[in-house]
Structure 1
Amino acid sequence: MARTRDRITTVLALTLSTALTLTATGCGSENTSSSSSSGVQPAGRNEDAPVVVVATTSWEGAFAKAAGATDVKVIVPESVQHAPDYDPKPSDLAAVAGADFVLYAPFEPYAAKFKEAAGSDAKLVEVNLDNDADKVKAEVTRLGEMFGTQDAADKWIKSFDTEYAALQNDLKAAWPDGKAPTAVAQVFATWSAKMAGAELVGTYGPEAVTAKQLSDLSKAKPQLVLDNAHMTTGKVLPDSGARQVEIVNYPARDLDLLAVYKNAATQVEKVMAAS
């Protein structure tokens, strides 16, 4: 017990004293997977036991669930909209200590400290958080191979392909005047433009939008603005006539990644129907 208390004290001290400096703030990742994510099972793991995964947020957790993991613990509560702002609690250490894998994104600097302070043998896995359909399938495949749940991952990908194609067809049927709409998108929401079949005429973020960028985006005359709900600064092009849609990247508590696409499609379809 004394060692556990010492570890908890250590991680809290480290967390409170460390500034969470972010370069790609909490809503998407353009990085490829790190070398720490190779498909090697943690040492000493019982191959017959379910894989125990601790995910820093519901986004990583949904990737793990899609890949076939059935025992997934999410650390950052759903109520925390900006994950890197989360202050870890002692109870988080207990979850990490019993995990086989700890999934995190590069803009979440506390994951390594969790593992170190908890004395865990868990494998630390950097996840490429991007809801682009092709990237999601590649990441789910990679995690399935790592977890030893390839069959479940393949089954999920098949269902994803079917659902994604149906959403694309529905969105195409809703195009204003039967033509693909033009759109600008926050860099971590471009996947929704691709799903909608929209013509992407500009992007912005994650940094603050400059006056020149706003001018350039307005000149492109987009019909849609696909904003990132987790980093929104309000109306992006208020005087352009473009209709803005808030795109949510993080799945809900049920870790249903498909629901993210369904919800985005519903919102985009509503806006296009009103155009």
Structure 2
Amino acid sequence: MARNRVRTARIASLLALTAALALLTGCGGEDAARPAAHKGAGHRPAVVVTTTWEGAFAKAAGAEDVTVIVPRSVHHAPDYDPKPSDLAAVARADFVLYAPFEPYAAKIKEAAGSKARLVEVNLDNEPARASAEITRLGGLFGTKGAAERFTARLDGEVARLNGELESAWPGGKSPVVVTQVFTGWAAGLAGATTVGTYGPEPVTPARLAALSARKPALVLDNAHMSTGTVLPDVAAKQVEVVNYPGEDLDLLAVYRDAAAAMKKAMGGA
């Protein structure tokens, strides 16, 4: 109930900001919120994203004008309270990108009075799924060629990192790992053998016992939802996997950083 009250208060604060937004956008006219399709050929779509993760997908898809609402320092996006400047950006956007676990995105758009297209993004760093989503966004933005060029780069980088990680396998054998539900992509990058998953709900004693019995060499934890040591009674090395790109919105860096962390844990650094 407390969480519901907090969420209701945040939504109310968004609606209260509408008056401030009107002052910011009142001189912009109808064209300020007009979708990209009505602005002519060659128009660069203005894309507003909730986090750097959506931002990286948008940039990879070819978007050049990308505004991120939630600072990277906020690990749990739904906890962020948007500012009037955030709503002003949304009001002028052609597209607003959000993830299913960020339920306030529609309220932000509504409070901003924006005519932007609200696009739900499947945030998954598993390479094939990421490429499919980037390709879809490129089609929406009218930047399909840029999206195709990026996905080719992604394929090449993933192949390179996978080769490096397999060369670092202890004893030449695929490491046995347990992953958090949102870090399975990293196990695939390493060519690891996944024997169990956990989360996003807390690990129960029964689940803990079952995962420990698998005797994993690595635990790939989610840095954004970490609760500390996952398997305290197992001599497994825990690797913190970061899903969100930095402020430069470089999606490839996410794969490189995860690869470096896993290589170090496998003793190949």
| TM-score, length of structure 1 as denominator length | 0.85
Distance 1:254 1:263 in 2: 14
Q: Which residue of 1 aligns with 2:256?
A: 262
Provide the aligned length of Structure 1 versus Structure 2. Answer: 243
User: 1:44, CA displacement in angstroms?
Assistant: 2.2
CA contact under 8 A between 2:11 and 2:107: conserved in structure 1?
Answer: no
What's the offset of the Cα at 1:196?
0.4
Q: Report the alpha carbon displacement of residue 46 of structure 1 after superposing the two structures with TM.
A: 2.8
5+ residue gaps, structure 2: 1-8, 17-34
1:189-208 to 2 correspondences below 5 Å = 189-208=183-202
In 1, the alpha carbon distance for the partners of 2:128 and 2:223 equals 22
**1:230 matched to 2:224:** yes
- Distance apart, 1:47 and its partner CA: 2.9
Whole-Å separation in 1 of the counterparts to 2:59 and 2:224: 22
- Give the Cα separation in 2 of the matches to 1:199 and 1:14: 46
Distance 1:259 1:85 in 2: 26
Instruction: Check whether the contact 1:62–1:255 (CA below 8 A) recurs between aligned residues.
Output: yes
State the match for 2:128 in structure 1: 134
Cα shift readout 1:127-156 (whole Å, capped 9, x = no counterpart): 001111110000000000110000000000
Closer, same or farther: CA 274–165 of 1 in aligned 2, 3 Å: closer
Q: What pairs with 1:116-195 in structure 2 (closer than 5 Å)?
A: 116-195=110-189
What do the CA deviations read for 1:75-116 (whole angstroms, capped 9, x no partner)? 001111111111111111100011000000011121111111
SS class of match (1:252): coil
Equivalent position amino acid for 2:138 in 1: G
After superposition, residues 52-67 of structure 1 pair within 5 angstroms as 52-67=46-61
Contact 2:244–2:254 (CA<8 Å) still a contact in 1?
Answer: yes
The 3-state SS of whatever aligns with 1:142 is helix
Larger relative contact order (Cα-Cα within 8 Å, sequence gap ≥ 6): 1
Which amino acid counterpart does residue 118 of structure 2 have in structure 1? Answer: L
1:95 to 81, 89, 98: 89
Give deviations 1:29-64, integer Å, cap 9, x for gaps: xxxxxxxxxxxx755233321111000000000000
Aligned equivalents of 1:223, 1:142: Cα separation in 2? 37
Q: Is the 8 A contact 1:67 1:144 kept in 2?
A: yes
Equivalent pair of 2:11/2:104 in contact (CA under 8 Å)? no
Match of 1:110 in 2: 104
Q: State the match for 2:12 in structure 1.
A: 13
Q: Is the 8 A contact 1:53 1:101 kept in 2?
A: yes
How many Å separate the matches in 2 of 1:188 and 1:16? 32
Preserved contact between residue 175 and residue 181 of structure 1 (Cα < 8 Å): yes
CA–CA separation in structure 2 for the residues paired with 1:11 and 1:202: 37
TM-score, length of structure 2 as denominator length: 0.87
Structure richer in helix, relative to its length: 2
One-letter amino acid of the structure 1 residue matched with residue 165 of structure 2? L
Q: Name the % identity.
A: 62
Distance change >3 Å, CA 119–CA 46, structure 1 → 2: farther
